[in-house]
Amino acid sequence: MKTNTYPLAVPSDLLKDLRKAAQATGLSVADTMRQSMRLGLPGLVTRLSPDPLRNLKPLTPAESRRCFAIPDPEFDALAAHCAALPVPIPEE
């Protein structure tokens, strides 16, 4: 098994916690770090990944009015162009 070594700066308070955990589990500090990363990664991904549908709330009417009250000439021109395009007749 090929392994890579990455230098990691560990704050002193976290290092103290790592040493306590290593002593409590009987693992080395390095094994404790590896296991904590392995066990903690799923939670980290769940909590910190930018999931576009998580905690997404619709705009309130006041927010909607505020967002769309400012005209955007570029978008308005695009919307007008798209509205003027012919609609194809569906084939049977």
Q: How high is the mean pLDDT in each 10-residue block of the chain (92 residues)?
A: 85 94 93 92 81 78 87 90 91 82
Within-domain flag for 43? yes
Residue at 61 is within a domain: no
pTM above 0.75, yes or no: no
Does residue 59 sit in helix, strand or coil? coil
Task: Identify the pLDDT of residue 32.
Answer: 92
- Which residue range is the domain that position 28 belongs to? 12-48
Q: Is residue 18 part of a domain?
A: yes
Distance CA 55, CA 57 (A): 6
Q: Round to whole Å and give the CA distance between 85 and 80.
A: 9
In a domain, 26, yes or no: yes
The total number of structural domains that make up the chain = 1
Q: How far apart are CA 60 and CA 57, in angstroms?
A: 9
Asked if residue 38 belongs to a domain, the reply is yes
- In this prediction, residue 11 carries a pLDDT of 93
